[in-house]
Structure 1
Amino acid sequence: MNLQNRLDLLERLGQYISADGEPWQTAVERASRENAWFTPEFIQLAANRIATHFLAKDKLSAWATQYKIPAENPHPKNVGIIMAGNIPLVGFHDFLCVFISGHRQTIKLSSRDETLLKHLVEQLYEWDAQTKELIRFETMLKGCDAYIATGSNNSARYFDYYFKKYPHIIRRNRTSVAILDGNESEADLGKLADDVHEYFGMGCRNITKIYVPKDYDFLPLLNVFRKYNQFAEHNKYKNNYDYQLAVLIINKQYYMTNDSIILHENPSVFSPVSQLNYEFYTDLAAVETSLSANNDIQAIAGINHLPFGQAQQPSLTDYADGADTLQFLLEL
């Protein structure tokens, strides 16, 4: 299958998602039943962003041109992909990179996200039978020429061991932060609320910690964050909220809450579901220096960084962990 055929199929896939037809709605409902964290609203949000930011014709063509992807891949390899399942379709970008590069791929899906990508690939099978030779799913990965694996820090150690003899990209735990100066508008805070709350805060691009100036007034932020108060009706989220609140109360630690999210002063950039860590600063340059040396950071929003509201809207070239996936594939 040549490059143009692959580009055409990907564009058609984006149109299929955007059309939101009955087969896609059925797949969304099934995925939501299988994983309570995957609400239909968040599945549609993730899928529509893929259609808009990844599968638009002009963006795909520019991406392929930028990397000078040849019309034919004369020596296709079999790339094994181990996908995460923390947010809906989180492994789509890896699938996309391998597909557009002309390599074959064998995918091991997360048990938490087994429906959505399979459904989309089945559409490709239906539109062009050649895709069956390029994409397949397996419960175990063996005999691949290269590997892309995403998981926790613990699983990454196993991936490093098992795949050390092969070209590989191994991804570990990462998270994102925001820097505020206290002059944010209500609209800015509303967009920050999205960066924090979308997908229940479970993505590596979700903001899990904010840096605020000394004497920062948290009341406007807490009030704006009430736009997600409906999370209190989500059983799994509410269980996390109640647990984290109980821990802080028992340990007599200071916290703030608007009844749907907990703010806690904590040096860690990672925070549990339902909690947002914060840290005061007096020297912005020192914060920047600290974050630039922190390998746990995926994205930074706020002053001199990503605009609020865009943390969970990566472009085609926003590669996870800073590893250029497409360049890696083209060099196999």
Structure 2
Amino acid sequence: MTSNQRIEAFVNLGSQLSNEIQTFSEGTQTLNEIIQSSQFQNPWFTPGNVEQALQANLALLNLVDLRAWIEPYSKYFQNDSDKTVGLILAGNIPMVGFHDVLSCLIAGFNVQVKASADDKLLIPYLLKRLIEIEPAFKAKINLVDRLSNFDLVIATGSNNSSRYFDYYFKKTPHIIRKNRNSVAIITGKETKSDLGKLGHDLFDYFGLGCRNVSKIFFPKNYNYSLFFEAIESFSSISNHYKYNNNYEYNKAIYLVNGDKHLDNGFLLLKADTRFASPLGVVYFEEYDLFSFVETHLEENKDSIQCVVCEEAIQGSNSMQDLEIPLTGFGTSQLPGLVDYADGVNILDFLKANS
């Protein structure tokens, strides 16, 4: 396949599945069955969350964006590569590994895909549909339980598993991802709409993604009732038994230990200097001077996936110097093609090892 053929195949995949999601007409029941059955394989993958993930990823598969993304690498990825990339995918939110798969296939590499046990329906189904659209992909895609005979590796896991990956793949060109968290910065100038959008950054996919906000910086003496009022529309998240169990468990711990916290009935705000908060909890810190926030982010930038903040902060030179991805309220879980996990450009990695 040429680069244009690969791009065209993914565009067709995005178009077909997007139309099917809109209609679920006769003949497209299989996709609906995947969406509905995912929750039985993984209770966190509710139909709403799966459909949201599908739509967000399929929106990337349009001709304009794909061509603009691959254009700087056109002379490297014009024809198929005979090299194979081993992909160990995460499964914390639906389809979280799809961008890795897309990047490797669009660049012409072969892939061995080890899907997460928590997300073993969605990506295999999309790859099956891709092969139906372009049969030449069949020779380039291999779903495996264990990697073997690979040239490159992209592996995503926890801090513990990353140590194993680093050792096991030390002689192979690799990208190894660890745990990361995202933060939000509140200045006090936000509208109720801004704060309401922040609810998506907190609660989309139950807050299980590395791009979900787990820590908020508030200005000193902030009126927290404004924040709680703005996110009230997300209260239905407590109807999910696994989320609510986590919320209730952490609430009980704080009450027994006498830990100070704020509680709106479905989210706990707890003052803490750490970034990785438990499910159902968001850590926060107050600041007098914005330089405190910048210093804190600089010291922990290798643990931060992205920062959710207003446009004025995004445009400041000092924040740009931190080299941490910045995004607007409500958009943390809508990454584009160039929003690479951990800031590591996969296409640059593939080009260097082509």
2:60 pairs with 1:39: no
- Equivalence for 2:13: 13
| Alpha-carbon distance in 2 for matches of 1:17, 1:74 | 25
The 4+ residue runs of structure 1 with deviation greater than 4 A are none
Query: C-alpha displacement at 1:76, in angstroms?
Result: 2.4
- Equivalence for 1:308: 329
2:354 pairs with 1:320: no
* Among candidates 168, 175, 195, match of residue 169 of structure 1: 175
| Alpha-carbon distance in 1 for matches of 2:81, 2:117 | 32
Q: How many residues align?
A: 331
Q: CA RMSD in A?
A: 1.2
Amino acid paired to 1:18: S
- Equivalence for 2:260: 254
Instruction: Spell out, residue by residue over 1:281-326, the C-alpha distance to the aligned partner (whole angstroms, 9 max, x if none).
Output: 1121221122123111000011413210111111111111111111
| Alpha-carbon distance in 1 for matches of 2:179, 2:293 | 21
Secondary structure of 1:264's match?
Answer: strand
Query: C-alpha displacement at 1:73, in angstroms?
Result: 3.1
- Say if 1:226 and 1:260, in contact at 8 Å, map to a contact too: no
Secondary structure of 2:71's match?
Answer: helix
- Say if 1:79 and 1:103, in contact at 8 Å, map to a contact too: yes
2:158 pairs with 1:152: yes
Amino acid paired to 1:12: N
Query: C-alpha displacement at 1:16, in angstroms?
Result: 2.3
Secondary structure of 2:120's match?
Answer: coil
* Among candidates 293, 297, 300, match of residue 304 of structure 2: 297
Amino acid paired to 1:226: E
Query: C-alpha displacement at 1:84, in angstroms?
Result: 0.3
Secondary structure of 2:112's match?
Answer: strand
* Among candidates 101, 105, 118, match of residue 99 of structure 1: 105
Secondary structure of 1:88's match?
Answer: coil
Matches within 5 A, 1:1-332: 1-19=1-19, 20=21, 21=24, 22-52=29-59, 54-70=60-76, 72-73=78-79, 75-294=81-300, 295-303=302-310, 304-305=313-314, 306-332=327-353
Larger CA deviation: 235-244 vs 280-289: 280-289
- Say if 1:177 and 1:210, in contact at 8 Å, map to a contact too: yes
Secondary structure of 2:49's match?
Answer: helix
Larger CA deviation: 287-296 vs 118-127: 287-296
- Say if 2:12 and 2:133, in contact at 8 Å, map to a contact too: no
Secondary structure of 1:139's match?
Answer: coil
Secondary structure of 1:107's match?
Answer: strand
Larger CA deviation: 3-12 vs 299-308: 299-308
- Say if 1:210 and 1:279, in contact at 8 Å, map to a contact too: yes
| Alpha-carbon distance in 1 for matches of 2:31, 2:196 | 30
Query: C-alpha displacement at 1:75, in angstroms?
Result: 4.1
- Say if 2:271 and 2:285, in contact at 8 Å, map to a contact too: yes
Structure 2 length-normalised TM: 0.91
Structure 1 residues 74 and 24, CA gap change in structure 2 (3 angstroms): closer
Structure 1 length-normalised TM: 0.97
| Alpha-carbon distance in 2 for matches of 1:46, 1:199 | 9
Secondary structure of 1:30's match?
Answer: helix
- Say if 1:3 and 1:70, in contact at 8 Å, map to a contact too: no
- Say if 2:218 and 2:285, in contact at 8 Å, map to a contact too: yes
Amino acid paired to 1:322: G
Secondary structure of 1:149's match?
Answer: strand
| Alpha-carbon distance in 1 for matches of 2:255, 2:110 | 53
Q: Which runs of 5+ in 2 are unaligned?
A: 315-326
| Alpha-carbon distance in 2 for matches of 1:150, 1:263 | 29
Secondary structure of 1:164's match?
Answer: coil
Secondary structure of 1:299's match?
Answer: strand
Instruction: Spell out, residue by residue over 1:74-105, the C-alpha distance to the aligned partner (whole angstroms, 9 max, x if none).
Output: 64211000000000000000001101110000
Q: What is the percent sequence identity of the aligned residues?
A: 39
Query: C-alpha displacement at 1:129, in angstroms?
Result: 1.8
- Say if 1:223 and 1:258, in contact at 8 Å, map to a contact too: no
Secondary structure of 1:248's match?
Answer: helix
Query: C-alpha displacement at 1:69, in angstroms?
Result: 4.7
| Alpha-carbon distance in 2 for matches of 1:101, 1:76 | 11
